[in-house]
Amino acid sequence: MSELFSDEYFMKQALIEAQTAYAKREVPIGAIIVCRNRIIARSHNLTETLNDVTAHAEMQAITAAASVLGGKYLIDCTLYVTVEPCPMCASALGWSQITKVVYGARDEKRGYQKFSTGVLHPKTIVKGGIMEDEASELMKRFFKERR
């Protein structure tokens, strides 16, 4: 795979979205969805902005990507997200039949792997730890400032 289309390249794009969330005082999680090496959706948490507990970065990205593709299934797509998806987002990703999920930092408290590992589609590939330090540091800084 070309450096241009590496997991690190796309995770950097998700981190840009996380920085946007951070600037808006949203929990700094960013997500992008890639289909055939093209970014088709970018998003970040909007739970505070929209006053909606379901407005996670992943949920926003799923909706945007489905709109671009003209259908609800995200086959041949990869989600890049800065933090491991929660059970709600992982379930939505499972329903979307997304091909691959790549995340940065694990979420030890609320990540889907703690509660419901079987919610993703059986064929979905999961890869964690991509640019984990950058994603984790942004989260730590955000919550430290809020305390």
Residue 131 CA to residue 82 CA, distance in Å, equals 8
**66 residue type, one letter:** A
CB 106 within 8 A of CB 113: yes
Query: Inter-axis angle of helices 57-69 and 87-96, to 10 degrees?
Result: 10
CB 35 within 8 A of CB 76: yes
> Catalytic site residue 58?
yes
How far apart are the two ends of the chain, measured CA to CA in Å?
42
Q: Which of 58, 108, 137, 145 is catalytic?
A: 58
Question: Which of the residues are catalytic?
Answer: 58
